[in-house]
């Protein structure tokens, strides 16, 4: 309810739909020539380990599963994935996810104390940026 109230104040015509990600993806209608930006932030639960970092294979659902389903549903679109990550990410799980992209970049944000920061993994499907940073 709070999210609905907040969205109403910005008057951007954003619809908030409460459903599972897989059902929601199947129900979306997006023009074929639109760039689709997908924010991926599944619950971390047991995927976050202080010693090894965030393992993207054990989020609920796994990050790769979200990317694969989105890619299957929107196979003809240019896709930009923005995945929330932790300061430390398990390297094998990161490699498994980035292998799905034509281009990717990992950025950490030093806002909190060391060991408590988040970051963003950007990745594209169907295109590459002209001048990647």
**Global pTM?**
0.87
DSSP state at residue 11 = T
| pLDDT tens sequence across 92-124 | 999 999 999 999 999 988 888 887 788 999 999
Are the CB atoms for 28 and 69 separated by under 8 Å?
no
- Burial code (b: 16+ CB inside 10 Å, e: under 16) for 99-130 equals eebeebeeeeeeeeeeeeeebbbbbbbeeeee
Of 75, 60, 76, 79, residue with least CA distance to 21: 60
Beta strands 78-86 and 35-40, pairing class: parallel
Backbone angles phi and psi of 88, in degrees to 5: -115, 125
Per-residue pLDDT of the chain (133 residues; tens, 9 = 90+): 888 888 888 888 787 788 889 999 998 888 888 899 999 999 998 999 888 899 999 999 999 999 999 999 999 999 999 999 999 999 999 999 999 999 999 998 888 888 778 899 999 999 999 887 6
């Amino acid at each position: 309810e709070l999210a609905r109230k907040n969205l109403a104040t910005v008057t951007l015509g954003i619809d908030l739909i409460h459903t599972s990600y897989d059902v929601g993806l199947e129900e979306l209608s997006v023009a074929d020539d639109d760039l689709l930006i997908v924010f991926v932030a599944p619950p971390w639960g047991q995927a976050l380990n202080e010693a090894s970092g965030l393992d993207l294979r054990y989020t609920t659902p796994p990050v790769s599963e979200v990317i694969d389903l989105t890619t299957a549903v929107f196979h003809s679109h240019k896709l930009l994935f923005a995945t929330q990550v932790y300061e430390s990410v398990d390297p094998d799980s990161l490699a498994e996810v980035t292998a799905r992209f034509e281009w990717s970049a990992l950025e950490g944000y030093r806002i909190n104390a060391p060991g408590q920061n988040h970051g963003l993994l950007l990745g594209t499907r169907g295109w590459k940026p002209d001048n990647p940073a």
